Homo-oligomer: A and B are copies of this chain.
Amino acid sequence: MSPTRSLARLLAPTTIARAHCDLPCGVYDPEQARIEAESCFRIQERYQANDDAAYRARAIAIKEERAELVKHHLDVLWHDYFKPEHLETVPNLHDLFWQATKATSKVKASVDPADGKALLDLIDQVDAAWKATGGPSKTRVAGRPG
């Protein structure tokens, strides 16, 4: 390699890392799904603890919306983060996501925190799959505070 080209590579290392990504951005994190799912779980708990009709109607409308966001964040991971080569590391990938999105449909229909908890457990498995396939270092910007 000529000295000039070698220098160019030193000056542009992120370009190389970027090459096997495609817009949008390559930033993925199951934390997005988990935060919305925690919200659903807390809403279910509070629903049980408060029997005011207005409060409960509101809780149900908000939970519907939060659960829809859980689905959206899970879908993005399944569509765009996970690639065919990850099936070796996570052989049950499709079934895991199918279970997790179906559990989210159940959370929409349910005011029982046990259903919210079951969803959180499935999202923890999605999180483990993301970590097992190198997610944190590949998809988040380095240097965020611990």
Q: Taking beta carbons and an 8 Å cutoff, which residues of A are in contact with B?
A: 14-15, 18, 21-27, 29, 31-32, 34-35, 38-43, 45-47, 49, 53-62, 64, 66, 71, 75, 78-80, 94-95, 98, 101-102, 104-106, 108-109, 111, 120, 124, 127-128, 140-141, 144-145
In the complex formed, the residue of B with least CB distance to A51 is: B53
Alpha-carbon separation in the docked complex, A69 to B50 (Å): 27
Contact A109 B58 (CB under 8 A): yes
> What are 27 contact pairs spanning A and B, CB under 8 A?
A15-B49, A18-B46, A23-B46, A23-B62, A24-B43, A25-B46, A25-B62, A27-B38, A27-B42, A53-B53, A53-B56, A54-B60, A55-B109, A60-B61, A61-B61, A62-B64, A71-B75, A71-B79, A75-B75, A75-B101, A78-B101, A79-B101, A79-B102, A79-B104, A80-B105, A120-B141, A127-B145
